[in-house]
Amino acid sequence: MSIKALIIEGGETVIADVQEVHDKEKQEFLGYRVTNPYIAELVWDARPSAPVDGTDITGTSQGAEVNFKYWAPLSSAREFDFVKDYVRVIYDVHEDTLKLYTSVIAHQQEHFENKVTPDLSKTIVTPMPDSSEPSALTEQAFDS
């Protein structure tokens, strides 16, 4: 897994598992294969001015939180190919952001993945003849 942040053409910051895509015949870089992309938004929380202890200076401080939302939320796939011109900047994410992203992915996989478990008691399985015996296929074909 190579989790990266990408600033894409529209200015959005997307965090995803990113792999480079190359055309081996032409020896050309094509772009990126992006899996589980999320838009990361930094929301700043302004706090009122407060005096700095021991001085006559006042200043404001800001806190922030990171909000994640699906990139391409109407798609049935979670893997996309970004052409090279679509990505403006790519960089490593901060360790804390990486932890947030992996927890979002884990939550998504736990709660929103479709898992199919067949009811094997209602499934009829016909055994295949032993392929090591070529006469088994021939005999069955002529018996019918």
CA distance 139 to 88: 66
Confidence of residue 18 (pLDDT cuts 50, 70, 90): very high
Confidence of residue 133 (pLDDT cuts 50, 70, 90): low
30 lies in a domain?
A: yes
CA distance 98 to 92: 9
Please report, as a single letter, which amino acid is at residue 87: V
19 lies in a domain?
A: yes
41 lies in a domain?
A: yes
The answer to whether 37 touches 71, Cβ cutoff 8 Å, is yes
Angle at 26 between CA 25 and CA 31, to 5 degrees: 105
What is this structure's pTM? Answer: 0.67
CA distance 16 to 3: 5
53 lies in a domain?
A: no
- For the stretch 62-83, pLDDT in tens is 778 899 999 999 998 899 999 9
52 lies in a domain?
A: no
Given a cut of 80, whether residue 9 has pLDDT beyond it is yes
54 lies in a domain?
A: no
- Average pLDDT for 122-138: 62
Of 31-35, 37-41, 105-109, 111-115, where does mean pLDDT reach its minimum? 111-115
Residue 102 lies in domain: 3-47+59-143
Q: Scanning the structure block, which residue is given the tokens 């909000």?
A: 67
What's 15's domain CATH number? 2.30.30.100
Tally of domains in the chain: 1
User: Tokens at residue 133, please?
Assistant: 């015996």
Given a cut of 90, whether residue 119 has pLDDT beyond it is no
